[in-house]
Amino acid sequence: MTVRRDFQEPARCRPDLVIGREELFSAAREQFGRGGSVLLHGPAGIGKSTVLRALAAEYGESARTVLRCSATESESHLPFLALADLLGLVLDEVAGKMPDAQRTALESALTGRGESTLQRDGLALRLAVLSALRALAAEGPVLVVADDLQWLDPASAELLGFAARRLGDFPVQVLCAARTEGQEYDDHLRASPPDTLALRLGPLTRTQVSALLDERGYPALLRSTVRDIHRTSGGNPLFALELGRALAESPTPPRPGEPLPVPTSLRALVLHRLDMLSADARHTLLVASAGARPTTALLHAAGRVHAEAETAQAAALGLLATEPEGPAVRFAHPLISAALYAEASAQERRDAHAALSTAASDPIERARHLALATTGTDPEAAARLAEAAALARDRGAPSVAASLGLLAARHTPADGEPGPEERRLTAAEDAITGGETDLARDIARDVLTRATAPADRVRAWIVVINAAGQAMGKVDAVFPQALADADDDPRLLALVRYQLAWRALLVEGEMDRGREEAAHAARLAAKAADRRTELLALAFQAHMETLMGHPDAPATIKRAMREPQDPRVAVDHNGIGAVRFRWLIMSDQLAEARTTVMTLLREVRRRGIAESEVHYVRFLAETELRSGHCGRALDLARESLRLARDAGIGEGASAMLTSLAEAAGGETGRALALAREAAERAEEDGDVMYLSRALGALGHAHLVAGDAAEAVRALRRVRELEIGIGITDPARGRWQGDLAEALVRIGETGEAQDVIDVTRVQALRLGRESVLAVLDRAEALVRAARGERDAALAQLTSVQDRLAKLGYGLEEARAAFALARLRTGRPGPTSYDEAARLFRRCRAMPWLRQVEEAAASDPAEPPAPPVLDALAGLAAMERQVAALVMEGATNREIAGRLFISVKTVEATLTRVYRKLGIRSRVDIVRLAAGSPRR
């Protein structure tokens, strides 16, 4: 029996709709699967009740009886109230299954008739609750769901704890939640069974907060605003949603540099202790809330002579958490600072900023405070802000530069030089660099409503185009207007023609036309002495010529590398440095490609160029993937995808590369999902270039998953797209070998040989040695399918050696695997050991699983150690940690690569040891090597 539906939660919360708690759900599911219980804990608003409802909905279906209670602070003084919620509806069912004394005591406690107390009827009540749970469990599994344990009345808590500790093997599981500020949750475990797993809910990441706001109806917020919400809320989902609601309801958004509006509901939550502060201490805290990095020294310089005593008073009230090893003054939660600032009057805020404008040591901070202390236009303040923006730009903080630039524009007089529109456009360009594309687009659109100067208008149109990213087709209407505004000015025309080159490639899929537009833009820019645009256009032209296999490509690259160079263009992901990287990796120069992209990545990180960072992390992942370092490639690809989703830049391209990395070293199911996501994004954006790459990744993932027919379907479309675009260099996507192999698997050997022959002509012309080796591997499979076994064996042996010399570790391992398959059934050197060794060295887990399956079906092959079978029983995080241990990574290294704490690594390893029946890291390594545990 399940308790009647009217007693259960009326609304179901699906686990797949709970954001950012995947690892926690995984741990809870494992615990419930073992028959254990779970305690969720964390601070107010962190989402405990949401997760509890989702888990209860998921596991309540399998329980015969679900008992629920949700305590409140106002009712925590009422004895037995929680017990009545839990057992009130099942009292009639269990009453007849317990002794009279127990039944009388329990009925008295639950109904309020009589004067039952723990002091008078303690033992009878304790045994009655235990008997009731046992009676229910004897009929089927019982799930006890208890929310807000901190408000549980003491009598109910005592009785539940007594019963929980004595349930033994009865199928009773407890799911409960409690509010805790730190890690202190031991007191709440007393009301739970001994095997209860305590899971702490931590703050959400910025990406998760963004997803939460989108899902709850606030999708139109700027990314910069989402970043401020995440910072102010501290990742607390309740606080984030309240801040989002306040912004949605606010008639005027906050000015640049100002904190977010804090709704009354949150102010009351965090500021109830402010009334206990003296007026002077409260003013000191206001100055601290206005500062970016407040210290006691800064507060002294701002005129707060008693800062130490006043901050100590605030710390005693829990408002501040003063750093023990430094002078920093830190609020106990970012929301306290924001709420305190929101409570102050406009004049009080200006006074605080005025004091900090002279007290702060950093010129950027001084300028920001001066702006926030100033009303109306002020040429001096505007000039100082523009200088601060330039300094922030040079420091690699373009988002800060954008914010300062907007403040500068606000204080610039209409007749100033430079004018307010020019400063707004500079801020928009900084926002693009910092990944704030939606902010940049809004600024540019605003400028276009007022600007009349052709230079300003064209510059604004270029910002709108750049903000569209890969989806240039969505701003098609912009190009005619930009050309009209450019008129016959060669400098302005060069800017527009360069963007038209990208449009020809991404929207029309016409590579040759894109090359011509880029060459035209380069000539115009040279005529106008605009070296920056000339360099970008030459880099684009060189990239197109490289993909087309054009003989002029090396000469164009040399032209683009001549002096003078523009430092920002040199490191931009569309600059010649990136083109040179692509040339190197397509030419099989993997070591030099790695050095090149790492140098570029360091520089763009120093400069804070968000979009280029996303691309260069992906380029580095691609280099590691080509080299056969699948684990490293997977880590980098996931990092690129995380960065892309945080910034809303290059998500499709990063999903495509992460799909390839997952197929090589992760999970094929995830590889397929990411490839489909990348293809859908490219289709939506009208980006035919990345559509071909995404479909190539999808075909590869299908091949690794064993679905040759679907692989052929996807890769045939890639072939059609690339013929239409004009791509002739097979080293660009490297899908041809996969297509030929998949065709062999479905029996289409003739078409497979045609693919090989056509591709080989281009690969020979361009000297693509690794592509030729992969084509030879595919041709060996064709020969084997036609019965030419000896020729196929000889060809595969040669291919494996060539790929090893070129440094393509994963392709070398695939050749060894193909060789082992051809030798299936033969004794002696026919073993799959070599392929397994090479795949294990690459950490290519999906391929290693295929080797083990093939070896198991080979009668001549000795049984392989069940490494992957053992790992298959682990959760996703446990598999990743175990795999990194197999590579020899330390706990700290594992924590860094998986973005988790060392404590989490240690806890995960403990679960791995228990599941695998081993005792130490050494045993994991022995499993990987196939050695028996000693």
* 659, 697 contact by CB (below 8 A): yes
Instruction: Give the Cα separation of 510 and 507 in Å (integer).
Output: 8
Share of the chain above pLDDT 90, in %: 45
Instruction: Give the Cα separation of 125 and 129 in Å (integer).
Output: 6
Instruction: Give the Cα separation of 505 and 540 in Å (integer).
Output: 10
Supply the pLDDT for residue 636.
94
Instruction: Give the Cα separation of 923 and 867 in Å (integer).
Output: 11
pLDDT band with cut points at 50, 70 and 90 for residue 928: low
Q: Show the DSSP H helices in 437-530 as ranges.
A: 437-448, 454-467, 478-486, 490-506, 511-527
| pTM greater than 0.85 (yes/no) | no
Supply the pLDDT for residue 550.
87
Supply the pLDDT for residue 514.
93
Tens-place pLDDT, residues 865-883: 454 555 656 766 777 788 7
Tens-place pLDDT, residues 598-623: 999 999 998 888 889 999 999 999 99
- Residue 29, C-beta contacts closer than 8 angstroms, at least 6 positions apart: none
Q: What Å distances lie between residue 301 and 297, 307, 358, 635, CA to CA?
A: 6, 10, 8, 46
For residue 146, what are the β-bridge partners?
Answer: 69, 176
Instruction: Give the Cα separation of 776 and 756 in Å (integer).
Output: 8
418: cis peptide before it, omega within 30°? yes
| Amino acid letter, residue 549 | G
Q: What is the side-by-side order of every strand in the sheet holding 142-147?
A: 65-70, 142-147, 172-179, 38-42, 197-200
By the 10 Å C-beta count (0-12 exposed, 13-18 middle, 19+ buried), 824 is classed as middle
pLDDT band with cut points at 50, 70 and 90 for residue 94: confident
Average pLDDT of 332-337? 85
Residue whose pair of structure tokens reads 């407890």 in the numeric block: 174
Tens-place pLDDT, residues 486-516: 999 999 999 999 999 999 988 888 889 999 9
* 241, 221 contact by CB (below 8 A): no
* 285, 276 contact by CB (below 8 A): no
Residue whose pair of structure tokens reads 């949150």 in the numeric block: 266
